């Protein structure tokens, strides 16, 4: 299958400038930083609208994964964005019962907005998105969508977006009994119509069970389905930090 190649994946330079066609004043830069790299951007209209200013940076490592990000047949496996740990999920809470589960903070929503914008500015918009039913995951998607569309109103044109119960919190009420279905779904991804990688928004427990990696809220792992879902690298915002629920 012929895969669409992204601009920054074709060169091994320390500095890149990219941007979707038709997105006025949108610019993204990728700079090597030690063993990894840093993605930044300027949001269209931010000079006159402070609400559109993006101050976050999207970091990734290793640097060599930059070429892999140019592929459409890879998977971005993401944990939902930052949540309010002062409120825990009620026992046996349903995935869609937002009143009785831990949800995102306003700061977390802003961070996910900027993450979405950074992805589009640096040509990382997904070709398909699937997300858990849980409220914090749906909120993550909503915030990322807002950032993506502010960066480029056409960025999600023809991008399928689905809610998938198999991505629900592992072993919870209405959750996945194991990660077998999730593993099979990821392994079957072949790049779709060649419009970008598959983005999956799931949970800490599911990701840890599948990859044996621990991830911060909002962090993404890059997986290669052609290599038995091997983890190629990771991406996270500069503000990403350990949470009290899963890290000491």
Question: Per-residue pLDDT tens for 176-196?
Answer: 889 999 999 999 999 988 889
Question: Per-residue pLDDT tens for 5-33?
Answer: 333 433 333 334 444 444 446 778 999 99
| Structural tokens at position 187 | 């392994």
What residues have CB less than 8 Å from 41, skipping those under 6 apart?
Answer: 26, 27, 28, 29, 54, 117, 118, 121, 122, 151
10, 83, 202 from 216: Cα distances, Å: 30, 11, 12
State the average pLDDT over residues 39-63.
94
Distance of CA 168 to the CA centre of its chain: 16
- The Cα 212–Cα 152 span in angstroms is 35
CB atoms within 10 A of CB 103: 19
Q: What is the pLDDT of residue 25?
A: 62
Question: Per-residue pLDDT tens for 162-179?
Answer: 999 999 999 777 788 899
Q: What is the pLDDT of residue 27?
A: 78
Q: What is the pLDDT of residue 248?
A: 76
- The Cα 90–Cα 201 span in angstroms is 22
The answer to whether the beta carbons of residues 136 and 83 sit under 8 Å apart is yes
| Structural tokens at position 211 | 């990859």
Q: Which neighbouring-strand residues pair with 38? A: 31, 59
Helix, coil or strand: residue 138: helix
| Structural tokens at position 150 | 């502010």
The pTM of this model reads 0.90
Question: Per-residue pLDDT tens for 94-109?
Answer: 999 999 999 999 999 9
Pairing of strands 36-42, 161-163: unpaired
Specify the length of the chain in residues: 248
């Amino acid at each position: 299958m012929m895969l669409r190649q992204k601009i920054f994946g074709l060169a091994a330079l320390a500095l890149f400038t990219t941007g979707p066609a038709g997105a006025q004043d949108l610019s993204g830069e990728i700079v090597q930083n030690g063993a990894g790299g840093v993605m930044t951007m300027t949001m269209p209209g931010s000079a006159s609208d402070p609400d559109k200013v993006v101050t976050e940076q999207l970091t990734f490592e290793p640097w060599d994964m930059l070429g892999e990000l140019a592929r459409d047949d890879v998977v971005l496996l993401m944990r939902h964005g930052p949540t309010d740990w002062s409120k825990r999920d009620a026992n046996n809470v349903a995935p869609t019962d937002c009143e009785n589960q831990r949800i995102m903070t306003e700061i977390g929503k802003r961070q996910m907005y900027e993450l979405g914008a950074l992805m589009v500015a640096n040509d990382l918009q997904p070709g398909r998105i699937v997300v858990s039913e849980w409220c914090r995951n749906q909120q993550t998607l909503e915030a990322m969508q807002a950032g993506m569309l502010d960066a480029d109103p056409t960025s999600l044109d023809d991008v399928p977006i689905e809610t998938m119960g198999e991505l629900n919190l592992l072993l919870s009420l209405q959750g996945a009994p194991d990660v077998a279905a999730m593993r099979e779904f990821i392994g079957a991804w072949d790049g779709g119509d060649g419009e970008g990688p598959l983005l999956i928004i799931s949970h800490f427990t599911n990701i840890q069970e599948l990859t044996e990696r621990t991830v911060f809220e909002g962090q993404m792992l890059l997986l290669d389905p052609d290599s038995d879902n091997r983890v190629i690298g990771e991406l996270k915002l500069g503000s990403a930090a350990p949470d009290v629920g899963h890290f000491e």
